[in-house]
Amino acid sequence: MKTVKLVFLLMLTLASAGGAALLLSGCDRSHVAAAGQDAAKTLYTCGMHPQVVQDKPGNCPICGMKLTPIRKQPGMAEGGAAAPSGERKIKYYKSTMMPGEVRPAAGKDSMGMDMAPVYEDEAAAAESQQIAVDPVTTQNMGIRTAVVTRGPLRRVIRTVGVIDYDETTLADVTTKFKGWIEKLHVNATGQLVMKGDPLFEIYSPELYSAQREYLLAIEQGTNTLGAKALKTSARTKLKFFDISDAQIAELEPSGQPSKTLRILAPQDGFIIDKLVVEGQMVDPGMKIYRLADLGLVWVQAQIYEQDLDYLKLGQEVTVTLSYLSDREFRGRVTYIYPNVDEKTRTARVRMEFHNPGYFLKPGMFATVQVVSELEPSVLLIPDMAILRSGEKNTVFVALEDGKFEPRTVTLGPQAENDTYQVLSGLKDGERIVTSGQFMLDSESQLREAIQKMLEPKKTAAAAPATSAMPGMGHEGMPGMAPAATNAAVKYICPMPEHVSIEYDHPGKCSICGMTLVPVTAATLQKLQPGGKLLYYTCPMPEHSDVHETKPGKCPKCGMTLIPVMQAPPVGHGERGSVGTDLLRTNAPPADAPGASEPGPHQHQP
């Protein structure tokens, strides 16, 4: 019986101890939950005065603005201050109304408002160029992005051209003696004539006397030396009057001079000017007809100066006509005029077209299209992503976590589809802002202005330190140029005939495609421009075997020949800085014949 009571008491004691432990553990969990809920409770702060933090809604006691809710961060003490374990350090106090007004201690600004503390981590974020924008604000700002891609640097130039006569095929019909028009065989403008066709018959006392002298010389014979010389003199006089050998031969059988002389067409073509009628007297040198061969015509187009880099001699062009919209005519660029119109800022470009069927009529307007590709693969960005300030071009790069960074970029020529080549500042695959970047630029400019006001003497104090030792260059070594002189470095083509063109950025030569080499101003003074002209060839690829030593017309198609310069040696431009030494040795002297010969950028008519 005593044993049963003892067991019962033992069980009752264990049950009481378990209940007490359970009660204590439940209290502890409730306290932890209450503490966690208190730590995560909603706080309220002012958007203008972040130092104002309250645990209930209301108005700011400083400016009266409505407080906005925020979540209290774990580890933060009451009043918005950091807990002692993670306490942040205050760097300075700033005015909330006057940007740039800062003080090392708390107080009121010049407008009587309480100054807000700026912590070290906040100051470091403000000095950074990166701008953080939350996703909701990004959507409200309408920010859109695009990826930097690679593509061909291609440009399509469209302009209006005027069809004109080929000036080299124009011919005037005149006489070298005074006379009277007896009969006109061609009496209408626009008539087509062939070489050797009769144009008109003319009577001239001088011509009649010359025929008489020739017939008298024939009658005297050629037995004596004087008679032979007289006949030769009389025959030469007739030829100087532009009398053909066939017409002179017609005089010998008859033995009688002709009252009138028939004048023949000197070439094939259309009569575009007729300035005489039957019975009219003409003086020596007076223009009677003008003939034009329309088998080959010119198209004169106006190209803006910024687009001239896309045009090369021999480049293919196409034209369309308003009354023949179903066909295109292909031609070639044969000459780029050396001057630019001061009013329109355009340069005149001449193109030549074969004209079968005479569809291209002088005086017509034509739509000219030129497709040019400068580089097969370059970095391209849309024009809408570029912010132009006059001195620099800025693009905003979209980073991770809603951050944006402004980048200064160097732009190249404009490409098709309203894009631009990027020479430096961006990489392939980066994402850039194409819409809404003006708000980002405003924030970036505001940060920059505040930093300048906060540290106005920072750049000025650094200048005396760099100039404290005049005559000392890089790392204090005498005679070495300081790092700032890198801006004076220019880039030129290693070919001697192209050294007259200087570039301010690395890349390829726009003429021969060789890699540009850096040179200093002293080296540029030693280099003499010049080149060697090899030959003239036809701009048509199928007639590239035509090599002439003088400018003129292609013997196969009649187009104007273009100059060809000596080709650069293989691998010459890939030697980097060695190209500078090659320039010094290969550059011809100023008095050398090659120095005065035209380069490929000096177009020949």
Indicate the domain borders of the chain: 42-130, 144-154+376-455, 167-292, 485-531+566-596
* Paired strand residues for 536: 548, 563
Count CA atoms within 13 Å of residue 364 on its CB side. Answer: 18
Largest CA distance in the chain: 187
Q: What is the pLDDT of residue 452?
A: 53
Alpha-carbon distance of 67 to 86, in angstroms, equals: 26
The tens digit of pLDDT for each residue in 429-481 reads 999 988 876 666 665 565 555 555 555 444 443 444 444 433 333 333 333 33
- Residues 334/352, Cβ–Cβ less than 8 Å: yes
Q: Other CB atoms closer than 10 Å to residue 346's CB: what's the count? A: 16
Q: What is the DSSP letter of 420?
A: E
The tens digit of pLDDT for each residue in 553-567 reads 889 888 888 877 765
Q: What is the pLDDT of residue 562?
A: 80
Q: Of 155, 159, 156, nearest to 303 (Cα)?
A: 159
- Residues 397/431, Cβ–Cβ less than 8 Å: yes
- The mean of the pLDDT values for the chain is 75
% of residues, the chain, pLDDT over 70: 69
Contacts of 209 (CB under 8 A, 6+ apart): none
Q: Of 269, 275, 292, nearest to 200 (Cα)?
A: 275
- Residues 132/268, Cβ–Cβ less than 8 Å: no
Contacts of 471 (CB under 8 A, 6+ apart): 478
Alpha-carbon distance of 470 to 478, in angstroms, equals: 9
Mean pLDDT, rounded, for 266-291: 94
Q: What is the pLDDT of residue 11?
A: 62
Strands 490-492 and 393-398, how do they pair? unpaired
Mean pLDDT, rounded, for 210-224: 82
Locate tokens 């532009």: which residue?
A: 242
Q: Of 155, 163, 167, nearest to 320 (Cα)?
A: 163
Structure tokens that stand for 251 in this block: 């005089």
Strands 296-304 and 324-340, how do they pair? unpaired
Banded pLDDT at 180 (limits 50, 70, 90): very high
Q: What is the pLDDT of residue 405?
A: 86
Q: Of 493, 483, 450, nearest to 582 (Cα)?
A: 493
Q: What is the DSSP letter of 184?
A: E
Buried b (16+ CB within 10 A) or exposed e, 69-84: eeebeeebeeebeeee
* Paired strand residues for 369: 158, 318
* Residue 482 φ then ψ, to 5°: -65, 165
Alpha-carbon distance of 443 to 133, in angstroms, equals: 11
Contacts of 54 (CB under 8 A, 6+ apart): 43, 44, 45, 67
Residue type, 449: A
Q: Other CB atoms closer than 10 Å to residue 411's CB: what's the count? A: 17
The tens digit of pLDDT for each residue in 133-177 reads 777 777 777 788 889 999 998 888 999 999 999 999 999 999 999
The tens digit of pLDDT for each residue in 501-525 reads 777 778 887 777 778 878 777 666 6
The tens digit of pLDDT for each residue in 230-244 reads 888 888 998 888 888
Query: Is the pLDDT higher at 91 or at 430?
Result: 430
Query: Is the pLDDT higher at 131 or at 278?
Result: 278
* pLDDT over threshold 80, residue 312: yes
Distances from the Cα of 85 to the Cα of 77, 90, 118, 211, 421, angstroms: 10, 15, 19, 126, 53
Q: What is the pLDDT of residue 14?
A: 55
Residue type, 372: S
* Paired strand residues for 94: 102, 116
The tens digit of pLDDT for each residue in 98-114 reads 766 777 888 887 778 88
Locate tokens 């800085």: which residue?
A: 577
Q: What is the DSSP letter of 594?
A: G
Alpha-carbon distance of 231 to 213, in angstroms, equals: 8
CATH class belonging to 167-292: mainly beta
Structure tokens that stand for 112 in this block: 């009587």
The tens digit of pLDDT for each residue in 246-277 reads 888 888 888 888 899 899 999 999 999 999 99
Q: What is the pLDDT of residue 115?
A: 81
Q: How would you class 353 by CB atoms within 10 Å of its CB: exposed for 0-12, middle for 13-18, buried for 19 or more?
A: buried
Alpha-carbon distance of 204 to 282, in angstroms, equals: 10
Q: What is the pLDDT of residue 206?
A: 92
Contacts of 123 (CB under 8 A, 6+ apart): 91, 92
Q: What is the pLDDT of residue 499?
A: 66
The tens digit of pLDDT for each residue in 14-72 reads 555 555 444 444 444 444 444 444 445 677 887 677 767 777 888 888 888 888 876 54
* pLDDT over threshold 60, residue 482: no
Q: What is the DSSP letter of 224?
A: S
Query: Is the pLDDT higher at 128 or at 486?
Result: 128
End-to-end CA distance of the chain: give it in Å, rounded.
137
Number of alpha helices (DSSP H) and beta strands (DSSP E) in the chain: 10, 31
Q: What is the pLDDT of residue 30?
A: 45
Q: Other CB atoms closer than 10 Å to residue 360's CB: what's the count? A: 23
Alpha-carbon distance of 605 to 599, in angstroms, equals: 13
Q: What is the pLDDT of residue 175?
A: 92
Q: Other CB atoms closer than 10 Å to residue 94's CB: what's the count? A: 22
**Structural domain 144-154+376-455, CATH architecture:** Beta Barrel (2.40)
Locate tokens 């199928």: which residue?
A: 542
* pLDDT over threshold 70, residue 7: no
Q: Kindly list the strands in the beta sheet with 53-54, ordered across the sheet, starting from the edge strand earlier in the chain.
A: 53-54, 42-45, 68-71
Q: Of 54, 120, 45, nearest to 87 (Cα)?
A: 120
Alpha-carbon distance of 52 to 326, in angstroms, equals: 76
